[in-house]
Amino acid sequence: MRHYVTPAGPTFSIQDIPFSHSGSWFDISPVVAEKTYADDLHLVSHQTGMHPILRFTPSAVTTVDATPTLLTWRHDTGRIDLVYERPDTVRIRGDRLGLRIAAAGDTLTPFGGTYLFRDPVDGAHVFTSYETGRRYRVTVLSGALEQTTGVQALGHADRHLTLAAGQPWEVAVEEFGTARRPYRGEVPFDRLHREVSGRFRDFVDAVAPWRTRATPAAELAAYVLWSATVAPAGFVTRPAVLMSKHWMDKVWSWDHCFNALALAAGDPTLAWHQFQLPFDHQDDSGALPDSITHSEVLYNFVKPPIHGWAWRQLRDLGLPVSVSRADLTRAYHRLARWTEFWLDARRVPGHDLPHYQHGNDSGWDNSTSFDGDRVIESADLAAFLVIQLRCLADLAAELGEPAARWLDTADRILDAMTRHLWDGERFGSRSATTGQRRTGTSLLDLMPIVLGTALPGAIADALARGIEEHLTTHGLATEPVGSPRYDADGYWRGPIWAPSTVLIEDGLRRAGHVRLADDISHRFRALCEKFGFAENFDAETGTGLRDRAYTWTASSYLILAAAHEQRRAAGA
């Protein structure tokens, strides 16, 4: 991905990253469904799912330029600009180019589609969407509509509004529920652009004050987070950074930790909301949901308990300083219940080690570690729980709660992990049903390096040697490229991922393998600077794969770049 920094911020490809605004539930993008790209840009909503609502078609073939605060269609004869006024409203103006604003679909039934009518109260035209349950009002501020088609039409029909190319024009498009006062465009377009530019600049200055020429992707990474943030709505109980405003428009119960870490120093309130959001949906067993989005909370899988690790990182960044004792106590009990879920519901009677029921529980959905058996006791899970248990012990001591039980359990799990899963060179897994032990080739089996100095030195050294075998020019392949199971676009069977990179880099650094940690950080940062913030990357070519605007990738870049700049400033 090539991007350039301008006074208005970095430019980016609208094919890769949607144009949006913090707090908004819609974006402007050609991506209208999973891996589906339209010819025209659409207003795409993420309420009740991902739904293209309106299609924007200029009167001539154009090129599209995007910065964090301004979207522009350009032609030799004119241009069209779009800016967010606020999270639910955009303003669009045209100069010598016309624009057709159409319903994305052409069929209206009692159970789906979009209806177009003219509101007699203010004369504005309104598209109402069955898919989102929202209205999209188009108010003409200057110029005039050249054509209206499909007003009050039912069934199969073309529904659109056309603004003529012959004169300057401007419209506002608003998303709302049942009713809203008539729109009054009192703030000029250029002033709106300056105001939204200021809001974005304030965000970048807060979350990446350390940025330099040596971190050229920092502003774009900040934009990916800023633009993917939505206001509380539906099951989303707090301001939330979605994984993406493409089709991965959810919060998963480990992804959110990396977004919290990237935000912690600059926007501690938003970071706190990211960390706590899944805990708002903790069930009676103590389990966190697999994922949360506007209209859905899923519990069919869980995600790995990295929350103790993330809490330790947040403490290092000073986040809990701004948290009240009551909130700290509540966080402690939530973390305790999440830990007890693994100890009570995910341990075979008589076993010290907990187990995953499927690769999805680990976050490494189809890792080769799960090829022999899906229900396994794995070393990464044990390591995360040891960290989480020790984190709970520290929190308990701080709050005056009993701490010994957490430490005792951590010691038993660490001992069982090394006795049952270590073969002298790497960790393996054990079937929770048959007890059969298996050693694989996935990077997942090396994840216990997150324990850092809690590991015996010989084990940490062996894990570091194993990790080096996964290094490519671009970073850590999740399956060695020489493995017969390696798949260049195999999800967790080869590609480079952000979370595994951050976890391993941190563990290596804590274990004293600083050179290797520095190398991994450098390679991943260079990867993002060249190829953007994809869901994952081809380990051999570096090419971004799948969703190209993934927030935990952007957050991981910010985490690693901030730490690198701090070490450089300190002369380390």
Is the pLDDT assigned to residue 6 strictly greater than 80?
Answer: no
Q: What is residue 287's DSSP assignment?
A: P
Q: pLDDT tens-digit profile of 517-537?
A: 999 999 999 999 999 999 999
Q: How confident is the model at residue 1 (pLDDT cuts 50, 70, 90)?
A: very low
In sequence order, which residues have a C-beta less than 8 Å from that of residue 466 and are 6 or more positions away? 425, 426, 445, 446
What torsion do the CA atoms of 149, 151, 156, 159 make, to the nearest 10 degrees?
50
What is the distance between the alpha carbons of residues 425 and 462, in angstroms, rounded to a whole number?
Answer: 6
What is the distance between the alpha carbons of residues 139 and 126, in angstroms, rounded to a whole number?
Answer: 9
What is the distance between the alpha carbons of residues 247 and 546, in angstroms, rounded to a whole number?
Answer: 10
Q: How confident is the model at residue 318 (pLDDT cuts 50, 70, 90)?
A: confident
What pLDDT is recorded for position 302?
Answer: 98
Q: Looking up tokens 């035209």, which residue turns up?
A: 125
What is the distance between the alpha carbons of residues 303 and 91, in angstroms, rounded to a whole number?
Answer: 40
Phi first, then psi, for residue 66 (nearest 5°) are: -135, 130
- CB 456: neighbour CB atoms within 10 A? 12
Q: How confident is the model at residue 8 (pLDDT cuts 50, 70, 90)?
A: low
Structure token digits, residue 509: 């650094």
Sign of CA dihedral 546, 549, 555, 560: positive
Q: What is residue 288's DSSP assignment?
A: P
Structure token digits, residue 431: 């079937």
Q: What is residue 277's DSSP assignment?
A: G
* Distance linking the first and last C-alpha atoms of the chain: 31
Give the fold, CATH level 3, of 4-198.
Beta-galactosidase; Chain A, domain 5 (2.70.98)
Q: pLDDT tens-digit profile of 349-400?
A: 999 999 999 999 999 999 999 998 999 999 999 999 999 999 999 999 999 9
Q: DSSP string spanning 44-65?
A: EE-TTS-EEEEEEEESS--EEE
Q: Indicate the CATH number of 238-566 among 1.50.10.10, 3.40.50.1360, 2.40.70.10, 1.20.1600.10.
A: 1.50.10.10
What is the distance between the alpha carbons of residues 536 and 37, in angstroms, rounded to a whole number?
Answer: 19
Q: Looking up tokens 């209208």, which residue turns up?
A: 32
Q: How confident is the model at residue 572 (pLDDT cuts 50, 70, 90)?
A: low
Q: Looking up tokens 């050249």, which residue turns up?
A: 146
Domain limits of the chain? Answer: 4-198, 238-566
- The DSSP element (H or E) to which 31 belongs, if any, is strand 26-33
Burial class (CB in 10 A: 0-12, 13-18, 19+), 539: buried
What pLDDT is recorded for position 224?
Answer: 98
545-to-258, 530, 541 alpha-carbon distances in Å: 20, 13, 11
Cα 225–chain centre separation: 7
